[in-house]
């Protein structure tokens, strides 16, 4: 096996639906040199896994109903061949223990579920020597590939089948042959052959391409790495998934050479997702490392059912929308405010360059002229008149920028500001943009004492270290002051680790700082705030990238820890905030549809209404795909403004379907939102063509969680019932939207 075949990254999970489990074979005794290996069989109604351990581990994994084999070879270990000498039988599985020739102890656990029908594996490694061991980290089941192997199956990345900054025809759908012979092209992570972003940001910051740098922590371009992979022939399928809250691990598909020119698909196990994001793992002397869970789950149906299977797994792990989730609709002042968005500063020395424009909205003089209490009162009035429930303040309210220090001189006392919103503007709540360490004002800001990053020579820089104890404790204190004053929402923007390594030995982190430690620090800050203010809503931006999709798995840092303290509540909607209409029409926003098939963990996004039309298509698209929505920007056409007010009133009336309901995908342009009580629903139908269309829609009630024995009324279109489903033709205007209620 060649070294280049071993160095890939993320782990993959294995998950399945099925029933009764039978565990055969008792604990295996230490094998004698001349004793034949003893097979171990783990079985339920969905899978049969046969393990033959000795010098290595031979695996046969079969899907019982179809007879399809998903593994049939020696298990691939990149760090040496374990000699398994012990096994320990558990209630639902078995643990194999062994050691490699270079002194690595391995515990390989296999678990098979009786009721849900999945099978899982976990691996723990121990360096039993007195020297550190560095090794490429990739292992997994192996399936020899022949002409008829998984012939009609398509492998689809979950949740990003469509990428936020891909192109209109780019789907992460691959054949087995492609995985075995081709690299993967993706804009989820750095790729020097592609522009960084095809979105409105290119127009806002024309020199953004200069900031196209390799993103720290990014898996190699070309790697088939995702949170999950759904394999289906349209009738039946399998979900391979990965889960870990201690490191960023992914489900990886790759290939290994076998005998006689045959290649094998390698999946499951673990992939290189190291604490310091290297493509190899270093185990210190006498140390242990446990890797995340890989799961395989079987499902019946097409690709959409595969996404639902993934969503169900994530929800069982605690990553779901709360049943009472009802966040306020935000009005974001940024779109009408001259300070930041339009770049219309009075100092003509500022150019259109990104750094110059950032410097311009950092400038206290510009803030004093363009971001005052009068300006914010005007925005609060717009928020109230449009029917919003909260005023969200984007960059400009704090001085210095990102300090989390309310600028009393310009805006008055924050307690008075909160009272003003409540008493004068219809009970509006206050939400704040609170970016973290990379979004830093080096010209006007004073660093938190002791938080400065140090370079390799020990010289302090002008940038804060977001993983330092000093930064975290003081930032948490400032956020608590704001929460005590009545702020209900914080956005953790600026979480990318782009300011370089830190070598300061007084910060409480490794020297140099590991990117994973910075990532974990952002998660820790959320818990520090929630420890004292559990009801404050926290949004987490992409970790590791300046903008766009997350470099960490969606769920990483979400949920409650062992002490019951929760992490962040929402994630960012992949920076689709600038030209909302363009992002929808060129396909960027299609990522939001697939996200909702895969996750109910809330997305937060604010959008620019000035890019919308009288059909309110961008408003409704983002209302349909973002459980927490923000809007802003006053359209120059009064008819569009009137249409928005009407749409917002309708949205507010039906809001519980969008914030806490269950999302079902009838198609990319047809979204079904079922109420929690399963008694009613709304359907959002979209038309991206420049002419009106009539679309036939079939609603299979059981697929959407409704009672097939009940008769439903459809408002907004005519539907007829036939054998547990409803069918109808829906007229949708050009570049428009049609709303249907199911009662």
Model-level pTM? 0.91
- Is the model more confident about 167 or about 527? 527
Per the listing, tokens 């937060």 go with 604
pLDDT in tens, 58-117: 999 999 999 999 999 999 998 899 999 999 998 889 999 999 998 999 999 999 988 888
DSSP-derived secondary structure letter, 568: B
The predicted structure's pLDDT at residue 345 = 41
Helix or strand (DSSP H, E) at 194: none
- Which domains does the chain show, CATH number per domain? 3-316 (2.70.98), 330-438+480-488+530-658 (3.20.20), 661-742 (2.60.40)
Q: Are 729 and 696 in contact (CB under 8 A)?
A: yes
The predicted structure's pLDDT at residue 184 = 84
Q: What is the chain's mean pLDDT, rounded?
A: 87
Per the listing, tokens 């002042």 go with 333
The predicted structure's pLDDT at residue 280 = 56
Q: Are 721 and 680 in contact (CB under 8 A)?
A: no
In this predicted structure, the answer to whether residue 406 has a pLDDT above a threshold of 80 is yes
- Cβ-in-10-Å burial (0-12, 13-18, 19+) of 35 comes to exposed
Lowest average pLDDT, out of 24-33, 299-308, 550-559, 582-591, goes to: 24-33
In this predicted structure, the answer to whether residue 159 has a pLDDT above a threshold of 80 is yes
Residue 38 — very low, low, confident or very high, per pLDDT cuts 50/70/90? confident
d(CA 362, CA 150): 56
User: Which three-class secondary structure state does DSSP give residue 210?
Assistant: helix
d(CA 575, CA 596): 16
d(CA 723, CA 393): 51
Lowest average pLDDT, out of 286-300, 546-560, 571-585, goes to: 546-560
Strands (E), 119-250: 119-127, 133-136, 139-144, 154-158, 173-174, 224-226, 228-232, 236-243
In this predicted structure, the answer to whether residue 26 has a pLDDT above a threshold of 60 is no
In this predicted structure, the answer to whether residue 397 has a pLDDT above a threshold of 70 is yes
In this predicted structure, the answer to whether residue 509 has a pLDDT above a threshold of 70 is yes
Q: Are 30 and 259 in contact (CB under 8 A)?
A: no
Short-list 620, 647, 576, 6, CA closest to 270 = 6
The predicted structure's pLDDT at residue 272 = 62
The predicted structure's pLDDT at residue 24 = 35
DSSP-derived secondary structure letter, 416: H
Per the listing, tokens 């009662």 go with 743
d(CA 704, CA 720): 16
In this predicted structure, the answer to whether residue 273 has a pLDDT above a threshold of 80 is no
The predicted structure's pLDDT at residue 113 = 87
DSSP letter string over 587-610?
Answer: TTTHHHHHHHHH--SPEEEEEEGG
The predicted structure's pLDDT at residue 1 = 33
Helix or strand (DSSP H, E) at 380: helix 373-386
- Is the model more confident about 518 or about 279? 518
The predicted structure's pLDDT at residue 6 = 31
In this predicted structure, the answer to whether residue 191 has a pLDDT above a threshold of 50 is no
In this predicted structure, the answer to whether residue 656 has a pLDDT above a threshold of 60 is yes
Average pLDDT over residues 141-164: 95
- Separation in Å, CA 330 to CA 388, 392, 530, 628, 631: 6, 6, 21, 8, 6
The fraction of the chain above a pLDDT of 90, given in percent, is 71
Does residue 646 have a cis bond before it (omega within 30 degrees)?
Answer: no
Residue 254 — very low, low, confident or very high, per pLDDT cuts 50/70/90? very high
In the 3-class helix/strand/coil scheme, how is 635-657 assigned residue by residue?
CCCHHHHHHHHHHHHHHHHCHHH
The predicted structure's pLDDT at residue 354 = 54
In the 3-class helix/strand/coil scheme, how is 658-721 assigned residue by residue?
HHCCEEEEEECCEEEEECCCCCCEEEEEEECCCCCEEEEEEEECCCCCCCCCCCCCEECCEEEE
Per the listing, tokens 């098939």 go with 597
């Amino acid at each position: 096996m060649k070294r280049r075949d071993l160095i890939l990254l993320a782990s993959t999970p294995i998950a399945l639906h099925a029933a009764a489990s039978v565990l055969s074979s008792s604990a295996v005794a230490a094998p004698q040199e001349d004793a034949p290996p003893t097979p171990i069989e783990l079985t339920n109604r969905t899978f049969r896994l046969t393990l033959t351990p000795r010098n290595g581990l031979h695996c046969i994994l079969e899907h019982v109903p179809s007879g399809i084999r998903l593994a049939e070879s020696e298990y691939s270990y990149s760090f040496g061949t374990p000699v398994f000498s012990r096994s320990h039988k558990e209630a639902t599985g078995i643990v194999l223990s062994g050691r490699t020739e270079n002194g690595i102890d391995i515990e390989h656990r296999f678990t098979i579920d009786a009721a849900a029908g999945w099978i899982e594996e976990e691996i723990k490694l121990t360096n039993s020597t007195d020297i550190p061991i560095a090794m490429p980290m990739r292992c997994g089941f192996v399936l020899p590939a022949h002409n008829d192997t998984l012939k009609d199956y398509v492998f689809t990345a979950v949740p990003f089948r469509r990428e936020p900054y891909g192109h209109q025809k780019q789907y992460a759908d691959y054949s087995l042959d492609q995985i075995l012979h081709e690299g993967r092209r993706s804009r989820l992570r750095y790729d020097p052959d592609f522009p960084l972003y095809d979105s409105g940001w290119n127009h806002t910051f024309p020199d953004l391409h200069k900031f196209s740098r390799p993103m720290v922590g990014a898996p190699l371009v070309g790697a088939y790495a995702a949170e999950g992979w759904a394999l289906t022939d349209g009738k039946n399928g399998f979900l391979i998934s990965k889960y870990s809250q201690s490191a960023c691990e992914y489900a990886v598909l790759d290939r290994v050479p076998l005998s006689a020119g045959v290649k094998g698909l390698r999946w499951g196990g673990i992939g290189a997702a190291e604490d310091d994001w290297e493509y190899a793992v270093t185990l210190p002397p006498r140390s242990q490392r446990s890797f995340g869970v890989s799961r395989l789950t079987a499902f019946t149906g097409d690709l959409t059912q595969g996404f639902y299977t993934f969503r169900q797994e994530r929800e069982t792990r605690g990553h779901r929308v709360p049943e009472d989730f009802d966040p306020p609709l935000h009005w974001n002042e940024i779109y009408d405010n001259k300070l930041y968005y339009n770049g219309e500063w009075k100092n003509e020395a500022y150019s259109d360059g990104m750094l110059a424009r950032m410097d311009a909205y950092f400038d206290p003089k510009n803030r004093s002229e363009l971001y005052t209490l009068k300006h914010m009162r005007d925005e609060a009035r717009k928020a109230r008149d449009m029917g919003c429930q909260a005023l969200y303040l984007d960059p400009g309210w704090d001085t210095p920028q990102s300090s989390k220090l309310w600028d009393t001189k310009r805006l008055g006392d924050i307690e008075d500001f909160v009272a003003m919103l409540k008493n004068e503007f219809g009970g509006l709540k206050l939400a704040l943009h609170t970016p973290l360490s990379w979004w830093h004002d080096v010209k006007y800001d004073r660093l938190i004492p002791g938080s400065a990053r140090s370079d390799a020579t020990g010289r302090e820089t002008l940038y804060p270290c977001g993983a330092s104890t000093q930064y975290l404790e003081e930032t948490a204190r400032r956020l608590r002051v704001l929460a005590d004053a009545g702020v209900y929402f914080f956005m953790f923007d600026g979480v990318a680790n782009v300011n370089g390594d830190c070598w300061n030995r007084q910060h409480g982190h490794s020297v140099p700082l590991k990117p994973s430690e910075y990532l974990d620090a952002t998660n820790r800050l959320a818990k520090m705030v929630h420890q004292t203010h559990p009801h404050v809503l926290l949004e987490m931006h992409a970790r590791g990238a300046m903008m766009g999709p997350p470099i960490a798995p969606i769920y990483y840092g979400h949920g409650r820890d062992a002490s019951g303290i929760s992490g962040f509540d929402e994630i960012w909607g992949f920076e689709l905030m600038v030209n909302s209409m363009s992002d929808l029409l060129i396909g960027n926003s299609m990522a939001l549809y697939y996200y909702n098939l895969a996750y109910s963990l809330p997305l937060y996004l604010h959008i620019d209404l000035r890019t919308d039309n009288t059909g309110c298509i961008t408003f409704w698209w983002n209302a349909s795909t973002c459980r927490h929505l923000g809007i802003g920007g006053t359209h120059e056409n009064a008819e569009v403004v009137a249409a928005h007010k009407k749409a917002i009133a309708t949205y507010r009336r039906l809001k519980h379907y969008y914030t806490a309901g269950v999302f079902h995908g009838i198609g990319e342009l047809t979204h079904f939102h079922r109420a929690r009580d399963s008694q009613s629903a709304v359907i959002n139908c979209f038309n991206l063509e420049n002419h009106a269309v009539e679309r036939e829609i079939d609603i299979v009630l059981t697929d959407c969680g409704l009672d097939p024995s009940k008769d439903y009324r459809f408002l907004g279109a005519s539907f007829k019932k036939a054998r547990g489903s409803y069918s109808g033709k829906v007229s949708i205007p050009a570049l428009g939207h049609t709303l249907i209620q199911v009662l």
